[in-house]
Amino acid sequence: VLTILSTDVNWDIRHWVAENPNAPEEILVRLAEDENKDVRCRTARNPNTPKEALAKLSKDTDWWIRCKVAEHLNTPKEVLENLSTDIDSNVRRHCKKRGYVV
């Protein structure tokens, strides 16, 4: 069911799938590249989002999504190190809270 819903044309439905803790990793990886930033943000906040998807989301153009990646407990060390030099001070501050400072 989640696989079908994850491709729905309505972003509200995809947004629900992205935050669902039962969403399979392969769906979360795909939703990390969704056209809708709210879907990508919910994906970044999902505790089960895999490292591969978090790495993709760490390069998102939206600073808020990059902040959510910096907060995520599964974000790889090298991704946090890269985010600690982000152009946006909010992203750097979230990295600092995790102990990553340049």
What are the residue ranges spanned by the domains of the chain?
2-97
Check: CB of residue 17 under 8 Å from CB of residue 6.
yes
Question: Residue 97: is its pLDDT beyond 90?
Answer: yes
pLDDT in tens, 4-50: 999 999 999 999 999 999 999 999 999 999 999 999 999 999 999 99
Is there a contact between 8 and 14 (Cβ–Cβ < 8 Å)?
Answer: yes
Angle at CA of residue 14, ends 13 and 19, nearest 5°: 100
CATH C-level class of 2-97: mainly alpha
Residue 101 has pLDDT above 90, yes or no: no
Q: Does 102 have pLDDT greater than 90?
A: no
